[in-house]
Chain A
Amino acid sequence: MLHAGIAVLVLTYGTIVGVISMRRKRGRDALWLVLLCCLTSLYELPHIGANMLTVEKAHKLVYGPIARTVMSKLGIGD
């Protein structure tokens, strides 16, 4: 319920402010605002958000093997 509410709120906000920005000839602002709001609402959606890539997941994928290699070379236990 909270997630749905936040998703709706952020999309509504993005739409309204995006339109205002377009009217004031700030197209770039409108574009990035809408993209940001869409990204936020995607994270809030129940099933989609849980499977979306976060910084934590990305870093685990990229740096996990590096960290294990370095620590095993240094002799530091897990």
Chain B
Amino acid sequence: MPAKQGQITFTSFGCLLFSYLSGFSTLFLIEAKFLNQDVWMAYSIGMALSFGILWLLHRTQIRLPNLTMLEVFDHALGKLFSRVVLCFYLVYLLEIQGDASQALTSFYRSVVLPNTPTNSILLMLALTTTYAVSVGFHAIVRSVLLALPFFLLGIAFILLMISQDVHTNPFLPPFRHSAALIGYGGLLSFFLPFGKSIVFCFLFDRIGSGRKKMASIFAALFLAGLYLCAATYLTFGSLGMRLTSHSLFPFFSAIQLVKLGEYLERIEIMIIGIWTLFTVFEIIVLQYIFVQLFTHVFRIQRPKWFVLPIGLLFFAISERSFREVYDQDYYNSHIAPFSTLIPTVVIPLLLFVVGSIRLKRLSGA
């Protein structure tokens, strides 16, 4: 079914979600360092939890299908309380984008550009994402659709090349960790990367075909999980558990081992170039949603004037956060899984419960 004017198809939405999730997912492999061979269970828990939360949000939104999610928040929670609640999402987006920007910067400074100042890289990122937000949602979606085949091709090639070095199944033997640790790993994978998909609820009104919305979300989550699983499997297989646990960027270290015959090696630079696009797409989507939320919360009439200051605010906050890479690693593994529970679990549950009562009353009235 073709999308209406101003809307995108469910396929485009799925591709956007996949790109958003796949950018940073393979950078640190935090849960893999905790759980080793049982990490696939953590991924499954993270995917299931994300899909469940998105399903709840979808069920809430379809009660008022002609409204945007922000308007559904207003109707369900009342205008004042919904604005307070949406401020939690604003803080969450600032946290995630700061984390993402600094992660990308620290990666580039560690591996590729040691002499380039951090704030220069952050500023380039901020200006790029600001431009992207200013050109509009449809341009962003079209760019993702154009870049995605290159990403898939590059990643498929890299995974194929790494698989030649893998001779045993690193996911065996299973169930070597306690349920508590697996549960914690699930929480980690829910924080990064799957739980980030919750903010896509604010784009539900952009999808043309409502019935296939959940199918596209499931497909995107599943494929992102599959990619993450494959990357982890091959990283363990080529580097081993110990080296993976001690390496800051384990998947990247595994890519460095790829050789094409005896002639061409260290081709990770080309893959990094394509991979960078997708990490930046994540920050672009975060910034776009931030602008939408900001506009709604503060009742802005002309949001286009706010795009540049918000971009520079993102730059400023990124610059002042996560100054050390090990500090960031500690934050991602210890603090963030708990700090992100409110916007990704508590508020959607609250919205679903309160929305079920109030919106039923409203639609029945």
| A adjacent to B, CB under 8 Å | yes
Residues of A within 8 A of B (CB): 2-3, 6, 9-10, 13-14, 17, 21, 26, 28-29, 32-33, 36-37, 39-40, 43-44, 49-50, 52, 54-57, 59-60, 62-64, 66-68, 70-71, 74-76, 78
Chain B residues contacting A10 (CB-CB under 8 Å) are 309, 312
Q: Is the interface of A mostly helix, strand, loop or mixed?
A: helix
Q: Which of B119, B300, B310 contacts A28 (CB under 8 A)?
A: B300
Q: Is the beta-carbon distance between A75 and B180 smaller than 8 angstroms?
A: yes
Contact A13 B338 (CB under 8 A): no
**Residue interface mask B328-350, A partner, CB < 8 A = 1:** 00010011111100000000000
CB <8 Å contact, A29 and B339: no
Complexed CA–CA distance, A52 and B310 (Å): 17
A-B contact pairs, 24 of them (CB 8 A): A6-B123, A10-B312, A13-B308, A28-B299, A32-B306, A37-B309, A40-B309, A43-B317, A43-B319, A54-B98, A54-B320, A55-B94, A56-B322, A57-B321, A59-B95, A63-B338, A64-B334, A67-B335, A67-B337, A67-B338, A74-B183, A75-B178, A76-B184, A78-B334
Within the complex, which residue of A2, A13, A67 is in contact with B309, where a contact is CB–CB below 8 Å? A13
Contact: B94 with A6, CB < 8 Å?
no
Q: Is the CB of A55 within 8 A of B321?
A: yes
Q: Hey, what's the 0/1 contact readout for B304-326 against A, CB within 8 Å counting as 1? A: 01101110110111011110000
Closest to A6 in B: B312
Identify the closest chain A residue to B314 (Cβ): A40
> In this complex, what residue of B is CB-closest to A44?
B316
The 8 tightest CB contacts between A and B, nearest first, are A43-B316, A59-B339, A56-B321, A74-B180, A55-B95, A40-B313, A63-B339, A63-B338
Per the bound structure, the CA–CA distance linking A64 and B335 in Å amounts to: 6
Partner of A54 from B321, B334, B338 at Cβ < 8 Å: B321
Q: Judging by beta carbons under 8 Å apart, are A36 and B331 in contact?
A: no
A56 and B305 form a contact (CB under 8 A): no
- Within the complex, what minimum Cβ distance (angstroms) separates B196 from chain A? 15
User: Could you tell me the distance between the alpha carbons of A42 and B119 in the complex, rounded to whole angstroms?
Assistant: 16
Is the interface on chain B under 10, 10 to 19, 20 to 34, or 35 or more residues? 35 or more
B181 beta carbon closer than 8 Å to chain A: yes
Residues of A within 8 A of B309 (CB): 10, 13-14, 33, 36-37, 40
A78–B181 CA distance with the chains assembled, in angstroms: 13
Complex CA gap A54/B123 in Å reads: 18
Most buried by A among B34, B334, B336: B334
Measured CB to CB, the nearest residue on chain B to A26 is B301
| Cα of A2 to Cα of B121 in the assembled complex, Å | 12
Contact B331–A56 (Cβ < 8 Å)? yes
Interface centre among B94, B309, B334 (most CB of A within 10 A): B309
**Which B residues are in CB contact (< 8 Å) with A71?**
184, 334
